[in-house]
Structure 1
Amino acid sequence: MSSSPSSSAQAAREALAARLRELRLDAGLTGRDVAARCDWHPAKSSRLENAKTGPSDDDIRAWCRACGAEDQAADLIAASHTAESMYVQWRRLQRTGLRRLQESYVPLYERTRHFRVYSSRVIPGVLQTEEYARALLATIAEFRQLPDDSAEAASARVARSHVIREGGHSFALLMEEDVLYYRYGGVRAMSAQLGYLLSVMPLPSVSLGIIPRTAPRRMWGQETFTMFDDQRVHVELLTAKVTVTQPSDVITYARAFAELSKMAVHGSEARALVTAAISVLEE
Structure 2
Amino acid sequence: MPPGTARSREMTLPRNTSTSTDVNDARDALARRLRELRRAAGLTGQQLALSLSWQPSKVSKIEHSRQTPSDDDIRAWCRASSAEQETEGLLAALHTLETRHAEWQRQFRGGVASVQAQTARREETTELLRAFEPTFVPGLLQTPGYARHRFTEVTHKFGHRRDIDAAVAERMRRQEILYQPGKRFHMVITEAVLRYALCPPDVMVGQVDRLISLSMLPNVRLGVIPFDKRYAIAPAHGFWIHDDDLVQVETFSAELNLAQPGEVELYTKVFETLALDADYDRKARAHLTRVAEELMGQVEHTPDRPEQS
- TM above 0.5, yes or no, is yes
Structure of higher RCO (CA pairs closer than 8 Å, 6+ residues apart): 2
- Residue 26 of structure 1 corresponds to none
Alignment pair present for 1:96 and 2:110: yes
Which range is displaced more, 172-181 or 237-246?
237-246
Query: Residue in 2 aligned with 1:182?
Result: 196
> Structure 1 length as normaliser, TM-score?
0.80
Give the letter aligned to residue 175 of structure 2. Answer: S
Match for residue 227 of structure 1 among 241, 245, 252? 241
Residues 100 and 257 in structure 2, CA contact (< 8 A), matched pair in contact too = yes
Q: State the TM-score, normalized to the length of structure 2.
A: 0.74
**1:198–1:274 contact (8 Å) kept in structure 2:** yes
The equivalences for 1:1-283 within 5 A come to 6-14=20-28, 35-41=38-44, 57-58=74-75, 74-283=88-297
Runs of 4+ in structure 1 deviating by more than 6 angstroms, as ranges, are 1-5, 42-53, 60-64
| 8 Å CA contact retained: 1:60, 1:77 | no
Secondary structure of 1:141's partner?
helix
- For residues 249 and 60 of structure 1, the distance between their equivalents in structure 2, rounded to whole angstroms, comes to 34
Unaligned runs of 5+ in 1: 22-30
Segments of structure 2 that go 5 or more residues without pairing to the other structure are 1-12, 49-58, 298-309
**Whole-angstrom CA distance in 1 between matches of 2:108 and 2:64:** 30
C-alpha displacement at 1:63, in angstroms? 8.3
Structure 1 contact 8–246 (Cα < 8 Å) conserved: no
Identity of aligned residues (%): 28
Task: Give 3-state SS (helix, strand or coil) of 2:110's partner.
Answer: coil
Name the CA shift for 1:109/1:64 in 2 (closer, same or farther; >3 Å).
farther
Q: In the superposition, relative to structure 1, how do residues 234 and 63 fare at CA in structure 2: closer, same or farther (>3 Å)?
A: farther
Q: Secondary structure at the match of 2:161?
A: coil
Deviation readout 1:186-216 (Å, 9 max, x if unpaired):
2222111101111111111111111111111
Structure 2 CA distance for aligned equivalents of residues 148 and 47 of structure 1: 31
Task: Give the Å deviation of 1:155.
Answer: 1.3
Structure 1 range deviating more: 3-12 or 151-160: 3-12
1:109 Cα shift? 1.2
